Amino acid sequence: MNNTFFIVIGIAIVLVIIFIYNSLISKKNQVKNALSGIDVQLKKRSDLVPNLINTVKGYMEHEKQLLEAVTKTRTQAAQQKEGTQKRFASENMLTQLLAQLYVVAENYPQLKASENFLKLQAQLYDIEEHIAAARRAYNGAVYTYNNIVQMFPSSLVASAMGFKSQPMFDAPENETTNVNVNEKF
């Protein structure tokens, strides 16, 4: 009787551990998936930046420094390993520089009238929105994963199996507000 009881309890514990382990793997994969989602969007943006620079450099001769900074930061970001904090820091810097570029573009009426520039700018704004969405999806996945890693009793399994909490992605301040394009055009 006693043996049966302990066997049943043992099987139940093993099943719970398997369930928790599988949940942890599933959530960890979701985090990885969300992270790759950010990278996809960052890559798209990175591909568009040279086109943007080529389009604006003819009009913005006096903003050479800014254009160089954009190019340099883009190269730096591309050189960093995907999904690392350094890469994200470079990408954040690029976001800020691009925002600065759009503001400066206000002083160049001919550039503002250029259809190619407007198209590129709209595409970049759209990608920025995608990046923001991907970051939020990443944070959502990390939040769920961290809950499992830190909550009892799954925390016992997580620590025994070497699962660690993941850092959330902090979006730059200017990305948390919506940009009004009407004002910019």
Partner 1 sequence: MKNFDDIYKEVLPLLKKLQRQRRVYRLLKFIGYGALQLLILLLVVYVVYITFFIFTPDTITGFFIRQGRRNADKLNYIYSLQLVFFLFIPLSFLYTRIRRKQQEIFSLVVKHVAPNFQFIPHAIIPKNCIDHSKLLSKQLEKNENAYVMSDGKLKGKIDGVDIELADISLLNSSRKIFFLYYIPGINFLMVALLYLRPLFTRRSVEDFSDFKGLFMTADFHKQLHGTTVVLPDVLEKRAGFVGKILQGMNIKRDELVHMENTAFEKEFVVYSTDQIEARYALTPVMMERILAMRQKANKPLMISFREGKMYMIIPEPEGIFSFKPSENVTKPPALKRMYDNIQFCLTIVDDLQLNTTLWKTGCSQQHHK
> Footprint of partner 1 on this chain (CB under 8 A)?
34, 37, 119-120, 122-123, 125-126, 129-130, 132-134, 136-137, 139-141, 143-144, 176, 178-182, 185
Q: Which residue spans within the chain are E strands per DSSP?
A: none
CB of 3 to partner 1, least distance (A): 35
The nearer residue to partner 1, 38 or 73, going by C-beta atoms, is 38
The nearer residue to partner 1, 123 or 165, going by C-beta atoms, is 123
CB of 185 to partner 1, least distance (A): 8
The CA angle 165-169-170, to the nearest 5 degrees, is: 130
Buried (b) or exposed (e) across 96-130, using 16+ Cβ within 10 A? ebbbebbebbeebeebeebeebeebbeebeebbeb
The nearer residue to partner 1, 35 or 73, going by C-beta atoms, is 35
- List Cβ neighbours of 93 (8 Å cut-off, separation of 6 or more): 73, 77
CB of 40 to partner 1, least distance (A): 9
The nearer residue to partner 1, 37 or 73, going by C-beta atoms, is 37
CB atoms within 10 A of CB 4: 8
